[in-house]
């Protein structure tokens, strides 16, 4: 599995974050640090979403090609079974028509 960054904020952390006010309002450095964390978390989420979308595409393609292979294998197996059944019926028919002469 890919090494993911640790997401440090929850929805509640963002909703309930209170910045201390300084002489001229919020402390700009604290707000900037908080927003940097939010931006990094969103980048992490977006990267994971992209990775998962790519994984979905790859798995769908693998499933589609694997399905064709399984279908071909099943057709070959069915053909082999059909050939066996035909040969068995033919053998039974020959025994019935020619009787014991085939054993000689």
- What pLDDT digit, counting tens, does each position of 71-82 carry? 666 666 666 667
Query: How many other C-beta atoms can be found within 10 angstroms of the C-beta atom of residue 69?
Result: 9
Of 44, 43, 60, which is closest to residue 4 (Cα–Cα)?
Answer: 44
- Helix, strand, coil percent content, the chain, rounded in steps of 5: 80, 5, 20
User: How much is the pLDDT for 101?
Assistant: 57
pTM summary value: 0.47
The structural domains of the chain, with segments of one domain joined by +, span: 11-103
H-run or E-run covering 26: strand 25-26
At 22, the pLDDT band (50, 70, 90 cuts) reads: confident
Which position has the token pair 């595409």?
A: 57
Query: Per-residue pLDDT tens for 27-83?
Result: 778 888 888 888 888 888 888 989 999 999 998 888 888 766 666 666 666 666 677
Please give the backbone phi and psi of residue 20, each rounded to the nearest 5 degrees, phi first.
-75, 145
């Amino acid at each position: 599995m890919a090494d993911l960054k640790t997401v440090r904020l929850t929805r509640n952390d963002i909703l309930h974050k209170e910045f201390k006010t300084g002489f001229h309002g919020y402390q700009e450095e604290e707000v900037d640090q908080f927003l940097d964390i939010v931006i990094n978390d969103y980048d992490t989420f977006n990267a994971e979403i992209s990775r998962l979308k790519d994984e979905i595409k790859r798995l769908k393609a693998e499933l589609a090609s694997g399905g064709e292979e399984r279908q071909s294998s099943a057709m070959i197996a069915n053909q082999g079974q059909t050939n066996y059944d035909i040969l068995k019926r033919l053998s039974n028919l020959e025994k019935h028509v020619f009787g014991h002469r085939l054993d000689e």
